[in-house]
A and B are shown apart, each in its own frame.
Chain A
Amino acid sequence: MDQAETKEWSRRYAGKRLLRSEILLDDPLFQQLINTSYFTPVPSIVRNYFQTQCQRCGNQKRSLFGSIPCYSCGNVHVYCRKCIDMGRVMTCTPLYEWTGPEMDWPHHSNACTWSGELTEPQRKGADCIVQAIQHREKELLVWAVCGAGKTEMLIPGITEALRHGQRICLATPRADVVQELLPRLQQAFAKLEIQALYGGSRDREATAQFIIATTHQMMRFKHAFDTVIIDEVDAFPYTNDPSLPFAARRAIKPEGTTIYLTATPRQQHQMQIASKKLPHVFVPLRFHGHPLPVPEYRMCYTMKKDLATYRPPKAFLKWYHRRKHPERQLLLFVPSIRLAEGLSEQLSDILHDCVIQAVHASDKGREQKVQQFRNREFDLLVTTTILERGVTFPAVDVAVLAANHTVFDEAALVQIAGRAGRSPNDPEGEVLFFHDGKTEAMGAAVRSIKRMNKRGGFR
């Protein structure tokens, strides 16, 4: 084992927790590395008196464990069914941790090749991030309104982390966002190797200093990163699946920094902010300096009856024909997939001069349709909540049908309203909530948008 080899191994395996099948070394060499305690086996499933826990995904739910008669040792083992897509973890196969020499990541004195300018509010947010990284603070929540330019705000912070020779991970909940972020950040750090990890990505090894990944991919890491940036902490599935916060917490080094990004913090975070337990910075202005559009309510008494037959409500059609800016495209949110399809058909019959498409999560041509809508190839897009965040269309009006449905919670409605007016050329857009009975969530969404505008210096 010479120096260069050891360095290569530590670059590949430091900070990870892997199955034997994920370590691409042949058996004699691997055994030698275990004997010299460069690799340490750790139990993959821990059983206490009352519960069982998978040590990779943190799963403790009893229905997500199964038992299997093992062929190689003849015993019956417990295995984890939750993370089985990453290779089966069972009692007789340990996970291996790298305990050899630590990887010394290079210090980049100035890795940033981005030449853009930050606006004043963005500058403020970016400075806070830089400071948090410099002082190795434990946590920082960046609360930036929809369309504030969060990715640009991260660039100085990432530059600073690279200057200190840190390893960085940017985790987002969805694979499409990873694919969108990679080229943007690769442009900003042209000379640096950046790897994107998501289910089905080409980079599998995760050997780069800077990694963009879906939160699921963090399950393979342990104490790997000095700085972890978690995008959209309030979004599905991060808030619904306890194994994702578990994985994120473990992937960070004990003295590392976590930066949360969000436009709509959940109540838990809001309370931590209010009681000063979680340091935060608020970026109240969109990058073009205009306020967020405030939603308007429209009552439709016949909503239930109309939507049962996929008919657009009268109030919606009335508003549609008298829009102030009919040249804008329209993004129409509906609560269910069936409704999206049914309604788009009916609308095509009613509005003859308007080209209409529907998009939802189980739609295979989803990315293509979104791209076509962005290129203004059609006028009206009916969608479920999948387009509520992370997408930008230059000039749209937004309408929500049955805004009082339970899928539209406060965060979803704020995010939906944030789709309007994102371009500096058309910074305003109408946002309409069509409902047949106002809900708590709708009220809270409007209040919180108004409050954010107020904090941004608008009346």
Chain B
Amino acid sequence: MNCLWCDEAIIPSITWKTIVPLTEPMYLCPACTKELTVLQGGRCRKCSRMSRKDLCVDCERWQSNWSNGRDPLEWNISVFQYNDWMQEVISRWKYRGDYCLGKAFLPEYQRVFRQHFSFLPSNTAIVPIPLSEERLRERGFNQAELLADCLPRQTDQVLKRIHGEKQSKKTRLERLTGKNPFKVTQTVNNPVVLADDIYTTGTTLRHAASVLKQNGCPKIYALTLVRG
């Protein structure tokens, strides 16, 4: 097995655990695994950002500003911290289209789902944040769908996105004041966990959550890979 990022050969030490063939294969070499920082410890309960306060400044603002204090998103959990290495990996994975690279994150993503979302009923739906038709044709795949498909609940693609400028090309203000690009194609009456790759300002997730809420969805959570 070679590391998915640096292509160094991975030589696992032999223990009882590695002899059993059921264990997860290693996708990243030890040096690259070190670059991944798993978020833990004191975090904002709403957006998963590292913070000493219980609720970070951004989230306080979300509570007061978004549609009369009714934030459609219950809370978001992120798995990894954003850093320079992560930026490079994400850009090769998403923008260059190195599909396989996403596999490296799946075990940790699944683990965090089990840790934080196992209280949800079994009829909970996983909704990946969609790409617009144009963007999907350009990239060939939707990274959020790859993440959603690995989770142990049913995936429902109930959202549609209208084509617009990339979020990553906009400034913070443009993102916060932008129009809602999502439409619902099918109503959901169960709790929903939104799956996406990055939580930066939280606007995209809130846009998606608000259209779901308007169409009768009781509770909406989010599980994102990276907290930007």
List residues of A whose CB falls within 8 A of some B CB: 61, 63-64, 66-72, 79, 81, 84-85, 88, 90
Contacts and interface: CB of A to CB of B under 8 A. Distances in A.
Contacts of B141: 68-69, 71
Nearest to A90: B140
19 contacts: A61-B7, A63-B2, A66-B99, A66-B100, A67-B100, A68-B97, A68-B99, A69-B141, A71-B136, A71-B139, A71-B141, A81-B100, A84-B92, A84-B97, A85-B92, A85-B96, A88-B96, A88-B97, A90-B140
B140 A84 contact: no
Nearest to B145: A69
Main secondary structure of the interface of A (DSSP, over half): mixed
A165 B127 CA distance: 61
B156 interface: no
Interface residues of B, number: 14
A234 B137 CA distance: 42
Contacts of B71: none
Interface string B125-162: 00000000000110111000000000000000000000
B98 interface: yes
A342 B2 CA distance: 32
Interface of B: 1-2, 7, 92, 96-100, 136-137, 139-141
A440 to B, nearest CB: 26
Contacts of A64: 7
Contacts of B99: 66-68, 79
A71 B140 contact: yes
Nearest to A65: B100
A348 B97 CA distance: 47
A3 to B, nearest CB: 35
Nearest to A88: B97
Contacts of A90: 140
Contacts of A79: 97, 99
A139 B141 CA distance: 45
B71 to A, nearest CB: 33
A72 B140 contact: yes
B140 A81 contact: no
B34 to A, nearest CB: 15
A69 B136 CA distance: 12
Contacts of B1: 63
B98 A66 contact: yes
Contact of B137 (A61, A72, A84): A72
Contacts of A70: 140
Q: Which of B98, B136, B139 counts the most chain A CB atoms within 10 A?
A: B98
